[in-house]
A and B are shown apart, each in its own frame.
Chain A
């Protein structure tokens, strides 16, 4: 789950591919160094177009929130645009626009990022602005600012959840997947009541604890030179003091329960959601789960798509994905029924297809297509400096090495048919959360869970 400060138009990206047969080594050259205050700086030069992007990750997300303050990390992200001592509101956006640059931020369970993207002439302005809000945010922070962004975030919640068909699934899934108190047991957007409760003091505490250079990494990528970037980053960030050491939550192991829930919504077609716990993002089984997902729903000929949409013609659409996070992961199957069809029928076919994949495994051709396509979709995200910058930050966060690109590809290439069989058997057969969304009054269309595998 990722929430953005402003709505991001979904662009159709062209597809690059470093292919299976003559794959070249993929490298995104970078330099990495750490300032005395703990700020990590990663620079990637790419002079092909005169543009630059800065991308700051703070290692804090909704999983770090206190009880009664769900949604706070994301609300705080909004407050980062409300002015700082030397760049008072609304200068942040206005100065960047006047330089031809865009900016945005986003919050997940695990991290919060902020980025600027524009002509390379805006480099120093971007660094000055990011440094000012890292070092000097609280001077002008007051209740009206918090109240205003609280309203904006509540509107965001209405737009993405309450007023969105099937939107409330995102609100209840975390609660059903995790025991109370687990960092992932509430949605990133938070509850209306908790958003109402957030105070200026909460903002100050959160900033002092988490928004320190030693809890942040900044990637600067594009038509720049390393020496200039390093000098500018030292100039503007150098004097920001190191913050306290941060302890992130380490939840106790929990027993996964099988849960079946039905929601009625103002929708035309019933939709089935199946969710299983899987593995953390950096687990060795993550690539096999990604390949399994492609084999199930990634193309016209994938197994669930064929079975549900084209053979039985019971569904309009089926999607699957594995989402690995810092503490845990989850695998999702989402299938929408065609008019008049009950979700039990879809569920039966899904279970049969999973069983078949465990027994027979994917064919060599299926596996090769999956690996090619997963690789392609992975590369699609990094053909721009903006995409590369965020990925450099992600790899550094996860592994301590920013250039994890080739390693990711190698891991994908190494996935075998037996791996796919094994991860489907291991992760997609046990207790799960089953959610049916049905048109109002049509609860008879909901899925029932017949047997629970211990």
Chain B
């Protein structure tokens, strides 16, 4: 919220008259030069125990965002899928002298928003709070990170709730498609193979002892980093965090971060996986394969290529499947940029009777972007859409912190955002075609379809895309 004084202005009549003079509506208004992106200044420091702190001071709103990230996350699960995210969730169920009710009602009373989540690669504890409640909220955050209680009764209760949520994944065709896609594209030993929230069997095994043991090895200060954004000075941050986190020491021996050797599966040819959802009005399609490392020199070209292919309303996939054919409410594609290369995936939900036709169109687009260079207009539009929208990602303190957390996970400075814009602006049609050829999984795609197989199987098989395997929804979302 920005509080400013009311600006009253009187428009000069002469200006109005001039503007209302005859003009040609057919002429598209010229865009003035865009404001150059001015990135916020990041102040770096360390707490007494060595935990790095990055600060962006932004005094406009009396709010502070504090994000603690700890390297690790679900990739530490290995044989116990779901344990990392469950342990992180359990931080909110009691810490220090407070039980879950006391902890969460106190946070709500302070107007604080505190969340604890595990991604595949890190634990993220995020606090957004009015500046005057910062101290009280940080006391709670410090308890939660350093002194969680993990009482048996609380673990049991959250485990039951999670078991019910896992059961409900079967209801969602999209969730089933995505579980199947990840389990196929990422082989068993890969950290992204299993869902972050585990499955029914692994959930049933969670107990207080295993959660505490995992916590002690995973929530360690030597892999932690603070990002702070908002109405706060460097000195204030040092005091606020230093007194609460400066003495934080490992409660156990930190687990060695597993080295990821497994690679996403690059198919020799297309492979089709069908999952039945009897009576479904639509089929969910997930089509893709291995993604690309964020450090790739082709990163900017890939972002532009993907924007053109499926990451904007005017992209080719959406234009074809939605705006030309009317098969869907939307079609899109994405590269999942993660510390370990994620996946490339096209996603759409299409009317049951055009499932096969939709697959034809998706592959037509995958071929077209490889076979011919995109037009200059299309390239310019995609580049501008990516580069010019970046200032809008720095509007709130939460967004500023999120931008820092994002570059941090790849070990890059915030200035890489400016470098990225320069790289995007340098992308050519030839670059786009080259990266499309190099990375898009044409003829080696993993194709997952969740729908009414009685109606859609014959059409899909007739396409002869590749070998067809039928999977069971209850097994995929087990």
Contact = CB atoms under 8 A, between A and B. Distances in A.
Interface residues of B, number: 96
B398 A13 contact: yes
Contacts of B297: none
B104 interface: yes
A8 B220 CA distance: 37
B168 A97 contact: no
Nearest to B3: A27
Contacts of B260: none
A418 interface: no
Contacts of A191: none
A232 B381 CA distance: 24
Contact of A266 (B6, B279, B314): B279
Chain A: interface residue count, which band? Answer: 35 or more
A18 B130 CA distance: 7
Contact of A100 (B165, B282, B389): B389
B65 interface: yes
B462 interface: no
Interface string B70-113: 00000000000000000000000000000011001100111111
A58 B301 CA distance: 40
Interface stretch (A119-127, A180-188, A212-220): A119-127
Contact of A49 (B15, B29, B323, B391): B391
Interface stretch (B288-296, B326-334, B408-416, B453-461): B326-334
Contacts of A121: 31-35, 388
Contact of A231 (B11, B170, B385): B11
B35 A13 contact: no
Given A119-B391, A369-B108, A19 B130 contact: yes
B160 A235 contact: no
Contacts of A365: 109
A128 interface: yes
B330 A7 contact: yes
Which of B6, B23, B380, B392 gathers most chain A CB within 10 Å?
B392
Contacts of B8: 31
A266 B171 contact: yes
B384 interface: yes
Interface of B: 1-9, 11-12, 15-16, 19-20, 23, 25-26, 28-35, 60-63, 65, 100-101, 104-105, 108-113, 115, 128-130, 132-133, 157, 160-161, 164-165, 167-168, 170-173, 277-282, 312-314, 319, 322-324, 326-330, 349-351, 380-382, 384-385, 387-389, 391-392, 394-399, 401
Contacts of B322: 152, 155
A52 to B, nearest CB: 10
Contacts of B32: 121
A118 B389 contact: yes
A231 B398 contact: no
A26 B1 contact: yes
A50 interface: yes
B326 A152 contact: yes
Contact of B313 (A15, A93, A117, A338): A93
